[in-house]
Structure formats: structure tokens, C-alpha cells
Structure 1
Amino acid sequence: MSTRKQKQYGILAQYSPLKGSRPLRLALLVSLSAGVATSAVADTTCGPEQFKAVAQYFSHASAQAPANYQSAYLNYPSRSIAAADKPFPLPLGTPLGNVSYQYADKPSTLDDFLKATRSHGLLVLHKGRIVREQYANGGTEQTRFLLNSMTKSLVGLSVGIAVDQGLISSLDDPISHYLPELKEGAYQTATVRQVLDMTTALHFAGQSPDAAGRGRDIEATASKSFGCGQSIRQHPVNALFNEGSQHGQAFTYINTNTQVLGALVERVSGTSLSKFMERNLWSRIGTEDAANWLIDQPDDSKAIEHAWMGFNARVRDLGRLGLLLANNGEWQGKQLISKSWIHDSMTPDQPFLKQLAQRPVFGYSHQWWVPVGGKDEFIGMGFGGQYLYVNQAEQLVIVEMSANPTFDSRKSTEEAIAVFRAVAANLAQE
């Protein structure tokens, strides 16, 4: 391996766990204890040491988490996504002061929230102007932050563009119509819409349907990718039906669904997900810097993106993406994403998706979380505390990057939406 590739793929080449680390908090590899990793352990080139290193790297709880989230694209294989030829300016506006809010009957402030969640990047755009921007814990304007599951929302937009371009005929087509390799497993009868809206009824060997419902479905396979450079392409083929259930009846958050969507975009477009994003979105919204998408192996000719969690980008460029969404998919007079797709992404179309039983503060549509009780707002969210909040009514975009050491998928995201709505209320008084 060349010196250049050793640096880029440093984790694969030379990473070893740090001594004295805190207990691993990431769900990554939790499923290995259920016996999923038997074949990997038997493989002397890919085993527990590699898996432990991966889990430690992506843990939100470790002391190294901010630095790790700021450099993932340097330490794992990734594809570069070119920026725009000319950056779109983000002028300064009237500074936003500190904001008070209340969550769980406890008063607090925006500054308290940022400190408690170990924020390392914040941008607040109001009517296209920067009203607050700050960095901490090693983050800077130049940092490309790992988005974790916030990546899913970008995949949702890519699917929308593919639909707009006629590459996908209907969301009600079986996903296996476009990916025939899925005809033998649980995805066989799932529609594109059901995969997009997380209403599939499936799980994976070695894990119960309940475990898959908590998102622990791709991590064992992903650990072999990040730790050993193994492909994840075949993983969705192994999906198993949930007995007594049917697709389209309930919300079940499954990371593999988004991985399937990434493969879908790749297949119908004839190019990589990264290149599709570059051509149709990233290079067209005035971005100032390239982004990176983590891929499953160093061999780019065979690789596929980690569609479920692997996007890395600057805060300001994510803010520009938010401006596109706040303006219903229109950028400088050009409709990059149809208004109908943006509307549908903010409008769950099933009663059980309008308010989730598992997450009652949120609904869900097209890979976006939709805060209950609001209007014209939606949010992308990542494990450990990464957010892209868009409020069309207030022309407000908030990008917040964290490595929250006490992150809780329900409580932390509920508090985040309380904070962001408090910011919106503060700005509405101006």
C-alpha cells in the first residue's frame, strides 16, 4: 500500500485501540455478542481486535469522539464529492443572543445545551444570513464533520432527484424491480416507498425483530467493512421476514433500508451515489468545499458508499443545503429538487408515521424526521448529536454537530428540537 493510501486508510492499515478507553457506547458491534461474528472471528485476518477498534473509533462517548468525528474521512476509505465552482456567499446578520428553553420541566439555555452535548460546530442561518456560528472541541470552519445517520436524509433527497429525473418510475414499485438480487429475501415484496419510509417488516440472522427495530441490523457487517475492508453489498440480500407482519404496517427504523436506497440510486443512475450527489446537488448549491462519503473498501472500482451513515462535510455547506430545502428545492432560480418531494418529505402519509409510537415527538417521511405539532419543518438527525433543522415558515436553518457523551436517541433528540424551536421563536420576535 502506498504512503498516500496508508495515510488515507490509516485505520485499516495501523489503527489499534487506545488503552484505558471508556466502555463502548455505540451500538456498532453490540450484535456481535449474539453470534453474528462467528465467521469473522474464525477468519484470522478479521476478528475481535479489528471490531473493537472500529467500535471505539465511532463511539460517541469516548474522549476522542470529537476528533474522530472530525477526521473519519481521513482514516477510512471515502469518495470525494466536488464543491461548486463558485461558493455562494453567506452574509452576516444581526447576531442571535443566548436563547432560553425548557425541556422536561427544566429551564436551560442554548449555551448550556451546546456545552452539555459537546458541540463542535453550530451554524444558525436566518433569512439566508448567519446570525450565529461557533466551533469548539477542535472543530473549525474547515472541518468536515461526520454526519452519522443524518446521512440518511441526504440519501432521501437523492432518491427524490432520481424520481424527478424519471429514473424511478413509482415509489410503489417493488424495490426488487430495480435491484433483482433482492427477489430472494425479505425485500422481495417491499416497495420503494416502504423502504424509504422505514415501514419494512424484516430483520437479520442472529438478531430478533426487536433488535433490528432499534437499528442494530447492519453494524456487524459494517464492522467488517470498517475494520477489514470487506464489502457490504450482499448484506441486504440476507434480510428475513418478520413472522406475522407485513411491509407497510408499522414504522421500524432499520439502517439497512437506507443502504438499499443507496444501491437503488447507484443502479438506476449508472454511477456512484457520491457522483450522483455531486452532479445533481453538492456542486450546484454554492458549496465552498468538497464533501466525502465513506465507502466499504479501499478498492474504489468495487466499493459502495455507507449510505446509512457515512457523509462528511463542512457546517457552512450543510447550511447551504438547508437553504435549498427552506426554499422548497429551488436554488438561484433552478429547481434542483421538486417542490412536491420537499412537501412529501415534511408530510408523513400514514397515521402511524405522523406521530411515531416509539418517538412521539416526531413523525417520519422519506428519510426525514418531522417534528409533531409544527408546520413546514423537518430535521435530519445523526447518532451522537448531528442535526440539520429546516423551518420554512421562519426561513431558519440550524446545523449542529456534536459528539454527545450521554446521547440518548429519544431524550437527546427531543431536547434538540425544543432548543431549535426556541431559536425559531426568538427570531420570530424580531
Structure 2
Amino acid sequence: MMRPKQVIFLTVLLSSLVACMTPADNPVPQRDIAAASEALKGATVLDVGLFQPTVTIGDNCTRRPLANDAARIPASVATAVAAAASYSKEQKGVGLVILKDGKILHESYTGDASAATPTDSYSMHKSVLALVYGIAIDEGIIGSLDDRAERYITEWKNDPRGQITLKQLLNMESGLKLYDFSDPDGKSMELLLGADINAVALDYPLADAPGAEFRYNNVNSQVAGIALERALRKNGHDSYADYLNQKLWCPLGNGKADLWLDREGGAPHYFSALFTTPHNWVRIGELIRNEGAFQGKQIVSARWIKAMVQPSSTNPNYGLHTWLGSPYVPKRRYSQQNPLAVIHGAPFLAEDVVFFDGFGGQRVYVVPSRGLTIVRTGQVNFAYDDAKIVNLILDGLVR
């Protein structure tokens, strides 16, 4: 049964689509962005049913269970785990799963949430997109990260934006303009809620020369996704969702997940809105920890995983759609233009921490040198300290 808020959202969305349809020769609808935004107001990470339509992956995958070692952890580690769980809960946590050497040390949820509860991952989808890119490059579907966008996006031929490389898109240094959500042009809200977000993304102008500046920007991921999807279709694949399911999701043994589309049969939000459970995220983290392998099966090349965690030329804390924990920064900024900053109360206690970052406290942390994978989900909260949980566990492991 749908919640009242879901009914309201779908009613508003459908009515806006019907009322604002374009002529028959252009079947893409227009959407009342203000109405759609109002309908989503107050949605939490648990309200994934509000985001419609979606395409489902993972329904037919054969699950690969995770081993559990929680009963045998030393007292010092148990104390550290309890402190980490307590901190996560204090900071509006929803779920916390901690693996050591591929085995679950701890798993806990708050409120009505459970291991079966999907949550909104926000920008953690970006790192999944990067993994899919690696597979596509290994299979020759994408030629190289040095390929220019115009090779895949014909609209940008004979356009300065066509010179942006795929690597610059994944490193968040394309030079494309960053619009904030209060911008009078409304580009950010259109990219989030529009009925043709690919067209919105391809209309973004350049603000700087490609490669000049790090600027964390959802449009980079959307454009990278457009290029990938077009290459996939040219090579006989049905869609990004189908390829993700076939090449990454099912080989990992993951369960159900949903991708939010801009309209029925439309484009995924490549920068966000992959709705799934912590165990599925844990398997993805384990893939990073084991250089592209999971439970002995190579899914992504080790070469690509190493490339993902190489710092970009414009930000030593960012690789290919993946964050790097070193060097230490007390407040991690998304760009010079964005006032949001993430607290890092102390340096990570390991130099090789890498992580996926979802808005306001969604994380997959990986520490290969210590055999750790940690998944943490929670309600949006910018008081959350990014170093706290990881350092509590690392400290407990050395005692």
C-alpha cells in the first residue's frame, strides 16, 4: 500500500505530465518542476517509493551470501564496534554493516529499518557508474578515458564541450558550469526533476577550460552516463541498467535495486538515485577492497580499480568518481563555489582509505590494508564526522 505522500507525489507528477505534453512529433513531456519539487519536500532516505518511475535490477540474480564472524571478535574490537554503532545512531544513522576480511563483524539498524530496507544512496551511484565504465573499457565498448566527449555525443561535435575527455568528466574537472539549487536559471532542479534530463545536461555551458579546476557537479556524471549508454547501445546492449545488471550486479550476487528514471523508458539519474540495501553496497565495497574481485571471481580488472583511486590533477582527494581519504583535510569541500563542507575531525588512521560519498552521510568506506569494508546509511546530517566510524574501528583493531 502506498503512503499518502506517495499518492500525492504521483498525482501531481502525472497531472503535470498530462497537462503539459508537447505535440505528437515530440513525445518528451514537459514537467512542472515546482510541483514535482514540492511533492518531494521532506522526503527522507527511506522514502524511495516517492521516486517514480524506476527500472529494477537484481531481481533474478543468484544471491551470494556474506559470511558472519561477529561471534568471534576480540573484546577490544567489540568495544570499538559498539562505539561506532552508537556514534552512527547518534548522528541519525539508519544502517551500519562492518566487514573484516570479507566477514561481517557487525550489523545494526535503527527504527523500523532492517537488512531488507532500501535507502536513497544519493551520489554513491556515481562510484557504481565508474565501475561500469571500467568494465566497458575492458570490453572495448569505450575506447579510452582519453576519448573526447564528441566521439560519443554527436551534439557536441564542433563545440568546445566536445573536447572534454571522459577522464575529465569522471575526475569532476570538465569545466562545465555549476548551478546551485537556488540559481534563477533552475538548471540544477531541471537536472534532478526534469522529464528529459539528458537534454538538460547537454545544454550546460562551459564555465572554464576543461581540466582547469575541480568542481563536483552532477552534470559531469550525467554526461558521462550519456556517453556510456550510447556506446553500449551501439554495441548491442539494451541499456545501462541491463549492462549494470549483467556485468556487475549479478556477478556480485547482489539483490534487488531500483534506478530512478526521468520518465517511463527514459534516462537514469547517473549521478544519484540507486536505491538498494546495505548488503548490496557491502559487496561493491568488497570489490574495491579486492582489486576488482569478489569471493574469488574477477569482475572488474585490477588495473581499473587502481585507476579509480589515483588522485586527479585538480584534487588529491578525488579519483574517478571516488573519494580518497588522504591527504587529510579538516573540512572537505565539493567545490570552491559550493558552501557545503564535510567534517573530518581527524586524519584517517590508514593512508589507503577510499570511499563513496552520498549526500549527508551515506558511505561505503574501504580500507584495503586492514581488510575493512564499512557501509553506513543515515538521514541527511552534515554534523556527521566522516573520520569517526572508520577511526574507531581501526583503533580497535590495533589494541
Query: How many Å apart are 1:46 and its aligned residue?
Result: 1.6
Residues 1:219 and 2:188 are matched in the alignment: yes
Amino acid at match of 1:247: P
Residues 1:423 and 2:386 are matched in the alignment: no
In structure 2, distance between residues paired with 1:417 and 1:324:
22
In structure 2, distance between residues paired with 1:199 and 1:379:
19
Matching residue of 1:99 = 80
2:258 to 292, 303, 315: 292
User: TM-score scaled to structure 1, two decimals?
Assistant: 0.74
Query: How many Å apart are 1:197 and its aligned residue?
Result: 0.3
Instruction: Give the match's secondary structure for 1:278.
Output: helix
Matching residue of 2:346 = none
Q: 1:8 to 1:353 in 2, by over 3 A?
A: same
1:329 to 269, 280, 292: 292
Q: 1:217 to 1:392 in 2, by over 3 A?
A: farther
Matching residue of 2:42 = 56
2:322 to 368, 374, 382: 368
CA contact (8 A) 1:231 1:296 kept: yes
Q: Which runs of 5+ in 1 are unaligned?
A: 17-42, 58-64, 101-107, 355-362
Query: How many Å apart are 1:99 and its aligned residue?
Result: 2.6
Query: How many Å apart are 1:333 and its aligned residue?
Result: 3.6
Query: How many Å apart are 1:164 and its aligned residue?
Result: 1.1
Q: Report Cα offsets for 1:83-140 as digits up to 9, x if no partner.
A: 564322222213542439xxxxxxx942442123211111001111111100113311
Query: How many Å apart are 1:332 and its aligned residue?
Result: 3.9
Instruction: Give the match's secondary structure for 1:99.
Output: helix
Equivalent positions of 1:31-430 (< 5 A) are 46=32, 48-57=34-43, 65=44, 69-73=45-49, 75-83=51-59, 85-93=61-69, 94-95=72-73, 96-99=77-80, 109-183=83-157, 187-203=161-177, 207=179, 211=180, 219-225=188-194, 230-242=195-207, 245-270=208-233, 271-287=238-254, 289-297=255-263, 299-300=264-265, 303-350=266-313, 352-354=314-316, 363-373=317-327, 374-404=350-380, 406-407=381-382, 412=384, 415-429=385-399
In structure 1, distance between residues paired with 2:8 and 2:129:
26
Amino acid at match of 1:425: D
Instruction: Give the match's secondary structure for 2:392.
Output: helix
CA contact (8 A) 1:185 1:237 kept: no
Query: How many Å apart are 1:141 and its aligned residue?
Result: 1.0
Q: Report Cα offsets for 1:326-356 as digits up to 9, x if no partner.
A: 1110134432111111111112142x321xx
In structure 2, distance between residues paired with 1:112 and 1:141:
18
Amino acid at match of 1:407: F
Amino acid at match of 1:327: N
CA contact (8 A) 1:144 1:313 kept: yes
CA contact (8 A) 1:120 1:138 kept: no
2:10 to 6, 10, 13: 13
Query: How many Å apart are 1:182 and its aligned residue?
Result: 2.8
Q: 1:115 to 1:9 in 2, by over 3 A?
A: closer
User: TM-score scaled to structure 2, two decimals?
Assistant: 0.80
In structure 2, distance between residues paired with 1:87 and 1:342:
23
In structure 1, distance between residues paired with 2:4 and 2:304:
40
CA contact (8 A) 1:185 1:240 kept: no
Q: Which runs of 5+ in 2 are unaligned?
A: 14-28, 328-349
In structure 2, distance between residues paired with 1:392 and 1:83:
30
Amino acid at match of 1:145: T
In structure 1, distance between residues paired with 2:251 and 2:294:
8
Q: 1:44 to 1:191 in 2, by over 3 A?
A: closer
Instruction: Give the match's secondary structure for 2:56.
Output: strand
Query: How many Å apart are 1:47 and its aligned residue?
Result: 5.2
CA contact (8 A) 2:95 2:108 kept: yes
Q: Report Cα offsets for 1:235-257 as digits up to 9, x if no partner.
A: 12212122xx3111221111110
